[in-house]
Amino acid sequence: MSWQVGVFIVGLAVVGAGVAMLVLPGPGWLVIFGGMAIWATEFVWAQLVLRWTKRKVTEAAQRALDPKVRRRNMILTATGLVIVAVLVGIYLWKFGLALPWNVDE
């Protein structure tokens, strides 16, 4: 029982550090999954959560590799880049190479 309490506390510390890294610099999700893996050595519920997570990540990876999804993402990215390029071009045409806070109306 004391071993499980120790594993729970160590896993909780690792998961807590991962949650903090979600807003601070660091690999937050990776650390959270590491804490879940620590918990999974002793707790069945953590094993089930890890199994579910692995399945969802695998499904997401397969969807991302789908040619239709890749084509759509490439088209959306290209469209976004064209829009940004046009907006930058309009800004440069109107104001020249001046920073926004130095533009005099």
DSSP per-residue string spanning 73-99: HHHHHHHHHHHHHHHHHHHHHHH-S--
- pLDDT above 80 for 40: yes
Could you report the per-residue pLDDT of 51-61, keeping only the tens digit for each?
998 898 888 88
Identify the burial level of 34 via C-beta atoms within 10 angstroms of its C-beta, where 0-12 means exposed, 13-18 middle and 19 or more buried.
middle
- pLDDT above 80 for 98: no
Return the residue matching tokens 């990776």: 30
**Confidence band, pLDDT 50/70/90 cuts, at residue 81:** very high
- pLDDT above 90 for 27: no
What local confidence, expressed as pLDDT, does residue 97 receive? 78
